[in-house]
Structure 1
Amino acid sequence: MYVAESRSPKAPAAPAPRPGRRAAAAVPGTVLALGTVSLVTDVSSEMVSAVLPLYLLTGLGLSPLGFGLLDGIQNGFSALVRLAGGHLADRRGADGAPRHKAVAAAGYGLSALCKPLLLLVHTVPLIGAVLAVDRTGKGLRTAPRDAMISLATEPAHRGRAFGVHRAMDTAGALLGPLIAFLVLRLAGGPMLADGGERHGYDAVFTVSACVALLGVLVLLLFVPGRPAPADDGPAPAPGLRAGLALLRLPGLRRLALCAVLLGLTTVSDSFLYLLVQRRLGLAVDLFPLLPLGTAAAFLLLAVPLGALADRIGRRRLFPAGHGLLLLAYGPLLSPLRGLPVVVCVLVLHGAFYAATDGVLAAAAADAVPAAQRGAGLALVGTGQALARFACSLVFGALWSAVGGSAALAWSAAALAGCVLGAAFVLRDSHDVPATDSEVPS
């Protein structure tokens, strides 16, 4: 999600593909292995995410403001440790190789351990603590995982490679809510806050824990420990000061600024699905199926939009993708109702992710020298995550004060302004790989 621009003649041009080479050859085996890990892990995570809003608001009677706090925790705690994860991953081991796989494995393992704890905690504060630890694991693994993808892929194909990874990741997001829906059905359905049993939710949490463990095993057994990047260079001592110094790179600074501004106006998935369910009058037991529409669109569009970003510029597509999210807000603010409106919102929501998530990661990888790849990816990701954390808090408070529709209208207006601002800031940006000689001192 970030790119460093350098117009210096020292910056090498992206290697041209070999004649007759198939497009699929641009995606290394490391990317496919990491995509499999993400697919399995996302099945586990999205099983919980699909039922969590319903469980907290309907099952435990939590207010929208309280839910906004917990939803923000999922992004906020991830952001607090993402920088640490990036710096730890850049540290070299005894063999001189960075510790990307080890740090990623620690993050995946920590999240896997949290899934069984949801069976034991039944109060909002304890659930919030478990979610915080789970998101800590996500924060640790995100930057080293994306660093491994970028270091294993030729710069000219990074958009496509991240698109393939995100498509596989989204296949898990597609399967997770469906499995949660089926488990709830088989276990007797969700229970309400009036003293009814919660065995339906417990069944979902149990299956999720087993799937998360499988994802950790796939990572340990099938992901190479070192992707052997061609542009690996000197390794400056990792640290917070060194990471923040990366903002001296003009391309990274512009991209980080835009990611933060747009994150401040991006309504979280959970709130969007709650608005769809309440505004359009969907049955409560259909709620876990809503993420399926987003995931299906994301799955279909991630690879073609990633390839498009390689051609037209990743930092041009990033703000345009947020324009798709703005279009998704439109039907929810209109008097229209019915299944076509639901489909339209979810397809646009998925297209937004396809045009921004992997695209931003690919752009960020170009912006940062290989020796600080983990720290650079973590820096931009942390800014975006903290911005989304703030957005969840503000949106939850607005919903409690003025209602969901009014809160969404305010968010849409702010997002429109930020999309225009980001397009202006990035208008002259170019996707040029950074070199190790550009490491800020």
Structure 2
Amino acid sequence: MYLADSRNSTTSSTAAPGSTRPGRRPAVPGTVLALGAVSLITDVSAEMITAVLPLYVVTALGLSPLGFGLLDGINNGVGALVRLAGGHLADGGGRRHKVVAGIGYGLSAVCKPLLLLARGLPAISAVLAADRAGKGLRTAPRDAMISLATRPEHRGRAFGVHRAMDTAGALLGPLVAFAVLRVAVDGYDAVFTVSACVAALGVLVLVLFVPSRPGTATPATATGTGTGTASAPPAPRPALRDSLALLRRPALRRLTLCAALLGLTTVSDAFLYLLLQRRLGVPAGLFPLLPLGTSAAFLLLAVPLGALADRIGRRRLFLAGHAALLPAYALVLSPLRGPATVVTVLALHGAFYAATDGVLAAATAGAVPAAHLGAGQALVGTGQALARFVCSLAFGAAWSFWDGRAALAVAAVALAAAALVAARLLRTTDTPDTGRTDRDDPHNTPQGAPR
């Protein structure tokens, strides 16, 4: 913490007056790269557990697949709800964003070695719930720090870089777990131990290299001068009612509604991979590689699509990302078979994430004032996460009553309808949202930005 703070203050104090011009400042600040490194390391740790956990609880602990499904669903719900608390607690300036994010990362790191002790269903449920709570706590403050450190017109690219680094960790995690299982005698225990060490490294990088007070970046004026990147003085933490009142802002309300509406019609990754395996004849031995295909496409496209969002508008690209799922669903439903079809579906699936994940966070940052960035990110993210959880339950029930093909066809039709409604709500014919907020609500202008 102290190393990061001293470095940040030294840089601020020695900056030349002309360094505030857009051409002399990087589009992706060092704070974003440091947070990306933290996310990369943490995702290696998390995905090591994710890669082996289903097999571990079903074979080693004797839990039924249905029991694991309910366990995973409950824990995802816990993470989504805790995200609201994390966003609210982090707002108010000062070091709160880093402190709350650090607590979240630290809680998840502590949970990894506890898996070595958890044997029964209640114990492992408690550990996984605490791990998801840690993820929920850190997500909104982390995205708020990225928003504060980056100029509004470059936020799409910054979030794209962060998500690309995060996805690199998601690619490496299963590979590290596979390697540990191959060489270790006590396979699962060794994976949990290595995962705990990697998670602790992520917390250390956060403490040492992420500034506690990321500068609030503001765009330059038309004459070429600007306020630059300056740390805002600490402010009292907003009251809970103030955070919830953000939904009264038209821009944020429409964005939250659209994220939830589209989330209700987005088939979960696990179901899509299972449909790929069954309908396109993917060998069972290759099934674990399907998520890596999505992650690889996400990694390659996150930065260019983030930069594209800064140029054409983040809301537009967010809708286009969901539209990319429609041909993916169509290919799964079609009679086409073979590796080319599988690769195309995974590429479209990765493009969907690259065009929506970080882009939604960047769009949210432009819809709320700087003092409420954490709460705003939490509201939109929680709405989307809960909607996707409901979609998973509904899709599973539809698959049980009908079949996977019929359930996917209904989901595709619902997604197309939801995209049309979302396009109207977000008013995609408006001026691209490259750092500006909804023009209907002048109070949505970020602090320091020109109206």
The two structures have a TM-score, normalised by structure 1, of 0.85
Match of 2:204 in 1: 217
Aligned runs of 1:102-181 on 2, under 5 Å?
A: 102-181=99-178
Residue deviations 1:91-119 (CA, integer Å, cap 9, x gap): 45xxxx14000000000111111222333
Cα gap change, 1:117 to 1:341, in 2 (>3 Å): farther
Cα distance in 1, alignment partners of residues 189 and 283 from structure 2: 21
Match of 2:10 in 1: none
The letter for the 1-side match of 2:77 is: G
Match of 1:6 in 2: none
Shift of 1:82: 0.8
Greater shift, 221-230 or 49-58, is seen at 49-58
Shift of 1:89: 0.6
Shift of 1:235: 4.0
Greater shift, 297-306 or 72-81, is seen at 72-81
**SS of aligned partner of 1:355:** helix
Cα distance in 1, alignment partners of residues 345 and 123 from structure 2: 33
Shift of 1:62: 6.0
Cα gap change, 1:399 to 1:62, in 2 (>3 Å): farther
**SS of aligned partner of 2:215:** coil
| Contact residue 92 and residue 371 of structure 2 kept, 8 A | no
The letter for the 2-side match of 1:265 is: T
**SS of aligned partner of 2:216:** coil
Cα distance in 2, alignment partners of residues 242 and 295 from structure 1: 37
**SS of aligned partner of 2:266:** coil
What value does the CA root-mean-square deviation take over the aligned residues? 2.6
Residue deviations 1:114-143 (CA, integer Å, cap 9, x gap): 222333334555433322211110110001
Match of 1:435 in 2: 445
- Calculate percent identity across the aligned residue pairs: 75
Cα gap change, 1:67 to 1:435, in 2 (>3 Å): same
Aligned runs of 1:385-404 on 2, under 5 Å?
A: 385-404=385-404
| Contact residue 152 and residue 217 of structure 2 kept, 8 A | no
Cα gap change, 1:65 to 1:334, in 2 (>3 Å): farther
Aligned runs of 1:300-379 on 2, under 5 Å?
A: 300-379=300-379
Shift of 1:76: 1.1
| Contact residue 177 and residue 291 of structure 1 kept, 8 A | no
Cα gap change, 1:282 to 1:389, in 2 (>3 Å): same
Cα distance in 2, alignment partners of residues 212 and 369 from structure 1: 32
Cα distance in 2, alignment partners of residues 34 and 160 from structure 1: 14
Cα gap change, 1:429 to 1:149, in 2 (>3 Å): same
Aligned runs of 1:19-418 on 2, under 5 Å?
A: 21=24, 25-55=26-56, 65-91=66-92, 97-187=94-184, 199-230=186-217, 232=232, 235=235, 237-418=237-418
Shift of 1:330: 2.3
The letter for the 1-side match of 2:379 is: L
The letter for the 2-side match of 1:398 is: A
The letter for the 1-side match of 2:159 is: F
**SS of aligned partner of 2:117:** coil
Match of 1:5 in 2: none
Cα distance in 1, alignment partners of residues 126 and 350 from structure 2: 29
| Contact residue 92 and residue 234 of structure 2 kept, 8 A | no
Where in structure 1 are there 5+ consecutive unaligned residues? 1-15, 189-198
| Contact residue 151 and residue 370 of structure 1 kept, 8 A | yes
| Contact residue 115 and residue 209 of structure 1 kept, 8 A | yes
The letter for the 1-side match of 2:336 is: L
Cα distance in 2, alignment partners of residues 89 and 51 from structure 1: 33
The letter for the 2-side match of 1:83 is: L
Cα distance in 1, alignment partners of residues 254 and 361 from structure 2: 14
Greater shift, 385-394 or 284-293, is seen at 284-293
**SS of aligned partner of 1:26:** coil
Cα distance in 2, alignment partners of residues 435 and 253 from structure 1: 15
**SS of aligned partner of 1:367:** coil
Aligned residues: 407
| Contact residue 167 and residue 303 of structure 1 kept, 8 A | yes
Cα distance in 2, alignment partners of residues 61 and 349 from structure 1: 33
Cα distance in 1, alignment partners of residues 316 and 20 from structure 2: 23
Cα distance in 1, alignment partners of residues 116 and 283 from structure 2: 26
Shift of 1:68: 4.0
**SS of aligned partner of 1:356:** helix
Cα distance in 1, alignment partners of residues 63 and 274 from structure 2: 13
Cα distance in 2, alignment partners of residues 148 and 311 from structure 1: 22
Cα distance in 2, alignment partners of residues 324 and 275 from structure 1: 17
Cα gap change, 1:184 to 1:285, in 2 (>3 Å): farther
Cα distance in 1, alignment partners of residues 212 and 364 from structure 2: 22
| Contact residue 321 and residue 351 of structure 1 kept, 8 A | yes
> Quick check: 1:423 aligned with 2:433?
no
Cα distance in 2, alignment partners of residues 330 and 48 from structure 1: 32
Greater shift, 50-59 or 255-264, is seen at 50-59
Cα distance in 2, alignment partners of residues 280 and 185 from structure 1: 29
Cα distance in 2, alignment partners of residues 403 and 123 from structure 1: 33
Shift of 1:230: 4.5
| Contact residue 150 and residue 217 of structure 2 kept, 8 A | no
Cα distance in 1, alignment partners of residues 199 and 95 from structure 2: 25
Cα gap change, 1:125 to 1:400, in 2 (>3 Å): farther
Shift of 1:46: 1.5
The letter for the 2-side match of 1:305 is: L
Cα distance in 2, alignment partners of residues 267 and 58 from structure 1: 27
